[in-house]
Structure 1
Amino acid sequence: MKKLLPLLSMALLFGKAHAQLTPFEQSTDKNTTATYAEVMAHYPKLVKQFPQQVKLFNYGSTDAGKPLTLVVLSKDGNFDPTKIKQQNKRVILINNGIHPGEPEGIDASMMLVRDMLKKKQLPNDVVVCFIALYNIDGSLNRGQSRVSQNGPRAYGFRGNYRNLDLNRDFIKADSRNALAFLQILNTWQPEVFLDNHASNGSDYQYVMTLIETQKDKQHPILAEYTAKTLSPKLYKRMEKSGYEMIPYVESLKRSPDSGIVAFLETPRFSTGHTVQHNIISYVTETHMLKPYDKKVYATYEFMHHLIDVCQRDAKQIGELKHKADEQVTQQKTFALTWALDEQKFNNITFKGYEAGYKNSDISGLPRLYYDRAKPWTKTIKYYNTYKATLTADKPVAYVVPQAWGKIIDLFKLNKVAMKRLKHDTTLNVQTYYITDYKTVPRPYEGHYLHSGVQLNVVNNNKIKFYEGDYVVYTNQPINRYIVETLEPQAVDSFFAWNFFDSMLSQKEHYSDYVFEDIAAQYLKAHPELQQKLDKEKERNPQLAKSAGAQLEFVYKNSPFYENTYLRYPVARLLTDTKLDLQ
């Protein structure tokens, strides 16, 4: 018997090694998440066991100096993105650990990849790509900073090495992490995208909530399939798995009783950016106060069901994506800003906890709390209708001066087709002059965001462009990205994120005592301007009282005034002009 015990122990150890348990599974209380080193040790072992079905790819270098690792599962062993498209297979891209304090997806994916390989459950018509851990920088900064959360025991920090929230970085791409993500996204061109998160906010009974691309912002063809087929199926399957879902809880007022509002993911967010590529997109949001093991298993189940349903509907999803791309290529008008329509809502069943107020032990003043001893089920309002508050008609093409190098680099990463002028060329274009805008008083993610942009539109403006400047035609499936970044009034445009701030400052002016004589001579030579000045003084008594203001009026209405001041540098070509292009 004594001889058998070591053999039995060895057999048990061999079984565990073969199963390759994750740090989460090995912990007795299931309240542990893998470190970055443990994640990076896990997947190469799977590649050794299943070299034909799983492969690792490294992209770029994150701000922490480490590459972004993509884990790819392919049943037939084809890991060439171009050939995968030729085979008419779908691609699902799953992102994990964008906020390392919300690591459920990291642990769930480690288990799911292993189980799909071990149980031979890889789909026939779907290639699944997992970003093993996106915010490597934050993951290395391990601690307990997310204080309102119930587990895991230790986890990474929300900000990356540059203290950026990476889920606000997709459109501006300040981090190397985002640049690597864009390379992955545009290399593998997924039809479906998932970003795994954990929520904060109200308390309620659900472990899992879900953000799906807001229906009014998604392409109508994809929105109909998502709303009527894919999402309902996922909700039913999750309920059957023991993890009943509800839409992400963003309360209209203080608590869910007042109704909940569909989240509007603008392009700064991962799914707001992927929708510009006509990709069906989801965000899982497990509840912060539920035990960590339930959050991990709920995320595991959701990914499993998503992959399964996408396998079932692989052909249909491919056809819908193709149709959406075709229609966006021809689309004329694009929404730039959105607002919630509070007059429209659906009634949904919601399971919450009674909210109330009691005196704070700290301040003695009333504080909000939820009483888990008093669960309730009520019908509440779900506000899921947004209306476009501002739109723009696309031009035939945008002309982007090569000086704006970051824009050109981002367009290249996003597979935007561009041509270049062969020679210096003067073009008759439509230009914008910025007449007003608002700027936040404090920086947000490293930027002073602009909003409320007002424009003076000038048609038939003759502007000189130089050899090598870029012409971006708007006959592409990526039109939404092009228009929403280059139209300065769009909520997450490049203008909003300060890409063009240098054109907001004046470079030339005058010495008043010198310009007095020049202005007087100019008014004598141009009596029509003298008449214009006189009329303006009659209309505006303050102008009549100010010598400096009158001198400035003459300057601004003369050819001496710099015509590039406040002129938005990206021009709009409104006619299909024959150009000499590289």
Structure 2
Amino acid sequence: MIATIIMLSATISMDTYLPPLMAWEGKSLQLMQKNGPLTTDFELSDGMASPDYTQTMAFVERLVAANPTQFKAIDIGKSKAGRAIKMLVACEQGKFSESDIANSVKPTLLIQAGIHAGEIDGKDAGFMLLRDIATGKRLDILSKVNILFVPILNVDGHERRGEFNRINQRGPIEMGFRTNANNLNLNRDYTKLDTPEVRAILAVINSYRPDLYVDVHVTDGADYQYDVTYGYNPQFASESPAIAKVLDEHFKPHIDKTLTKNDHVAGPLVFVKNKRDFKQGLAGWVATPRFSNGWGDLASIPTILVENHSLKPYKQRVLGTYVFLDGAVSALAKDHTLLEAAVEREYASKPDKIVVQRSYAKQPDHIQFKGISYKNFESAISGQMEAKYLGEPKFYDNLPIYWQKEVAKTVSVPKAFYIPPAYPDIVEKLRLHGVLVEKITSSEEKVGLQQARVSKHKFASSPFEGRFRVSADFAFDALTARSLTNWYYVSTDQNKSELITHLLHPQAPDSFFQWGEFNTIFQRTEYVENYALEPYARSMLKNNPAMALEFDKKIREDSDFANNAKARLTWLYKKTPFYDQAYLKYPVLFEFGE
């Protein structure tokens, strides 16, 4: 292992090209061990390397063998390439079943690493933490919480290892790839559920019911002093504001204090508006439900997204993650009852309208921010002004931050949705989301339903995450009474009301509709021959004077229409009972309350 590291280090070092580092000698260095039971591959490499899949799975088995009364490894799924996705269950009394954990008096922390397999800090940090539990150094942890630990979610991307996967990330020497074997980004899949990896993690959440979900990433972008940044949707933009309030007032202060005590710098999860001009300010992101933390916000699952800073050395990032997780454990143990009460308040909340799309505020707020000094220079390479970071701290006392505060689109929440029996895959995905779906067996006719009809639509010009996305404008039509036997009924009077609406309302940007699940409604498969339509239309106009007047008016007032035979005949064809009545009709029906 050591010889391999030396050889690889000799082949390439991006340190020559990356911004200079600020010196760091943190107290958390004391967490590392050089030898002894269950020393991790990360520690054996002095914080330079991360083990491959085979080595990782071997360490999982070693942990279980060292302490089988407190650890159990289970397969939660399998990747498209056939690799098992492992999860470690850690609890004090050895009661490892789903019901044991879900009904435990102690809170449960779900730690997810490697959703982007190049950003693998959480795996090595989690192994160190669990090792300290297994060897008796941290007997306190399992007396306070249960832990579910997924060391690698993106197991196939993890094995697309190499030195050249992230040009702006300092280590490990070899790292995995961002996407899975099908080139899908798992952290864009939390609504459409195309990947077995995200399906697996939602199944874990549904069955084990964790109290806190932590998803560990590594960020990119600008340079700054913070080595551990993290966040969740802010209260003003959250669909679970009671949860965000508890995280703000009780969890964040405790986690920040733990990080600071160990010489790590905790920062907010924000992004830079202009990477070449830091002074223009920050962008305050609000996650939509395609992302883990956006999905958690809508599902009322307390979720924290950790983004370690890519320019900090791998050793520093991993140790910072260990300290973060330690802080999260103690915060959860101390204040889980407050968090549980907030979740119950959110489950009970059933809004009439929800925001499905936001835009950035035109006027900024201002925050204090620990940046890094930089200078601008005219680049002969890019032909524009570029930024060069200088490795010296720079404090911004009043830096602008533009949050996504503007409401761009809201929708009314229906009382219920009705799904045709021809869409069992949609029903399956809803159940994976933890949504209650009931099959209708009664033949009684239903009244008061509405259907969305596409009035204008636009397909994306290129695929995104394997899908051709579509957006549309809609009109809503009242329907006559009809029987819905064998259809599926989805009430919004259940715990995940807001998530249900985001998934099934076609105007929501992360809905099944906009991800392309219903693209067949844009196909016309029956057409008309003019020799049949022309005499039928003549008779139709003769027997319907109002239609004839409307047709004559359109000819008089619209010269393009008047001079376009196809447009004239199409207009008439749409008026016949032979026209495809399902064309451009969203098949999921709506029931609105009084």
Fold shared, TM-score > 0.5 on shorter chain: yes
The number of residue pairs the alignment matches comes to: 555
Give 1:181-580 correspondences, 5 Å limit.
181-215=201-235, 216-254=237-275, 255-327=277-349, 330-360=350-380, 363=381, 365-366=383-384, 368-379=386-397, 380-423=399-442, 426-428=445-447, 429-451=449-471, 453-462=472-481, 465=484, 467-574=485-592
Looking at structure 2, the residues matched to 153 and 375 of structure 1 have their Cα atoms a distance apart, in angstroms, of 27
Stretch moving more, 291-300 or 228-237: 228-237
Which amino acid in 2 is paired with 1:561? Y
Looking at structure 2, the residues matched to 163 and 136 of structure 1 have their Cα atoms a distance apart, in angstroms, of 13
Q: For residue 3 of structure 1, what is the aligned residue in structure 2? A: none
Give 1:120-135 correspondences, 5 Å limit.
120-135=139-154
Q: Please tell me whether the aligned partners of residues 398 and 472 of structure 1 are also in contact (alpha carbons under 8 angstroms).
A: yes
Q: Please tell me whether the aligned partners of residues 250 and 335 of structure 2 are also in contact (alpha carbons under 8 angstroms).
A: no
Which amino acid in 2 is paired with 1:248? L
Looking at structure 2, the residues matched to 554 and 284 of structure 1 have their Cα atoms a distance apart, in angstroms, of 58
Compared CA separation, residues 233 and 438, structure 1 to 2 (3 A): farther
Which amino acid in 1 is paired with 2:439? R
Looking at structure 2, the residues matched to 383 and 226 of structure 1 have their Cα atoms a distance apart, in angstroms, of 21
Note the residue ranges of structure 1 that are not aligned, 5 or more in a row.
Answer: 1-14, 577-582
How far apart are 1:218 and its partner, in Å? 3.8
Q: For residue 12 of structure 1, what is the aligned residue in structure 2? A: none
Looking at structure 1, the residues matched to 383 and 413 of structure 2 have their Cα atoms a distance apart, in angstroms, of 54
How far apart are 1:68 and its partner, in Å? 1.6
Compared CA separation, residues 67 and 402, structure 1 to 2 (3 A): farther
Looking at structure 1, the residues matched to 127 and 451 of structure 2 have their Cα atoms a distance apart, in angstroms, of 51
Which amino acid in 2 is paired with 1:104? D
| SS in structure 2 of the partner of residue 209 of structure 1 | strand
Q: For residue 10 of structure 1, what is the aligned residue in structure 2? A: none
Q: Please tell me whether the aligned partners of residues 357 and 407 of structure 2 are also in contact (alpha carbons under 8 angstroms).
A: yes
Compared CA separation, residues 70 and 158, structure 1 to 2 (3 A): same
Compared CA separation, residues 226 and 461, structure 1 to 2 (3 A): farther
How far apart are 1:104 and its partner, in Å? 0.7
Stretch moving more, 548-557 or 285-294: 548-557
Which amino acid in 2 is paired with 1:318? E
Q: For residue 83 of structure 2, what is the aligned residue in structure 1? A: 66
Give 1:11-50 correspondences, 5 Å limit.
18-28=36-46, 30-50=47-67
Looking at structure 2, the residues matched to 220 and 375 of structure 1 have their Cα atoms a distance apart, in angstroms, of 34
Once the two structures are superposed, what CA deviation does each residue of 1:410-438 show, in whole Å capped at 9, x if it has no partner?
A: 11222211211215565331110011223
Q: Please tell me whether the aligned partners of residues 375 and 389 of structure 2 are also in contact (alpha carbons under 8 angstroms).
A: yes
Looking at structure 1, the residues matched to 593 and 317 of structure 2 have their Cα atoms a distance apart, in angstroms, of 54
Looking at structure 2, the residues matched to 277 and 293 of structure 1 have their Cα atoms a distance apart, in angstroms, of 34
Q: For residue 160 of structure 2, what is the aligned residue in structure 1? A: 141
Which amino acid in 2 is paired with 1:574? F
How far apart are 1:492 and its partner, in Å? 0.5
Stretch moving more, 540-549 or 527-536: 540-549
How far apart are 1:504 and its partner, in Å? 1.2
How far apart are 1:125 and its partner, in Å? 4.3
What is the identity percentage for the equivalent residue pairs of Structure 1 and Structure 2? 27
Tell me how large the CA RMSD over aligned residues is: 2.0
How far apart are 1:554 and its partner, in Å? 1.4
How far apart are 1:568 and its partner, in Å? 0.2
Compared CA separation, residues 373 and 178, structure 1 to 2 (3 A): closer
Looking at structure 2, the residues matched to 86 and 282 of structure 1 have their Cα atoms a distance apart, in angstroms, of 22
Which amino acid in 2 is paired with 1:263? W
Q: Please tell me whether the aligned partners of residues 503 and 564 of structure 1 are also in contact (alpha carbons under 8 angstroms).
A: yes
Note the residue ranges of structure 2 that are not aligned, 5 or more in a row.
Answer: 1-32
How far apart are 1:89 and its partner, in Å? 2.9
Q: Please tell me whether the aligned partners of residues 137 and 160 of structure 1 are also in contact (alpha carbons under 8 angstroms).
A: yes
| SS in structure 2 of the partner of residue 284 of structure 1 | strand
Q: Please tell me whether the aligned partners of residues 34 and 44 of structure 2 are also in contact (alpha carbons under 8 angstroms).
A: no
Looking at structure 2, the residues matched to 284 and 298 of structure 1 have their Cα atoms a distance apart, in angstroms, of 11
Compared CA separation, residues 94 and 373, structure 1 to 2 (3 A): closer
How far apart are 1:495 and its partner, in Å? 0.7
Q: For residue 11 of structure 1, what is the aligned residue in structure 2? A: none
Q: Please tell me whether the aligned partners of residues 203 and 370 of structure 1 are also in contact (alpha carbons under 8 angstroms).
A: no
| SS in structure 1 of the partner of residue 271 of structure 2 | coil
Q: For residue 115 of structure 2, what is the aligned residue in structure 1? A: 98
How far apart are 1:326 and its partner, in Å? 1.6
Looking at structure 1, the residues matched to 285 and 208 of structure 2 have their Cα atoms a distance apart, in angstroms, of 27
| SS in structure 2 of the partner of residue 568 of structure 1 | strand
| SS in structure 1 of the partner of residue 143 of structure 2 | coil
Stretch moving more, 554-563 or 79-88: 79-88
Which amino acid in 1 is paired with 2:254? K
Stretch moving more, 377-386 or 435-444: 377-386
Q: For residue 28 of structure 2, what is the aligned residue in structure 1? A: none
Q: For residue 172 of structure 2, what is the aligned residue in structure 1? A: 152
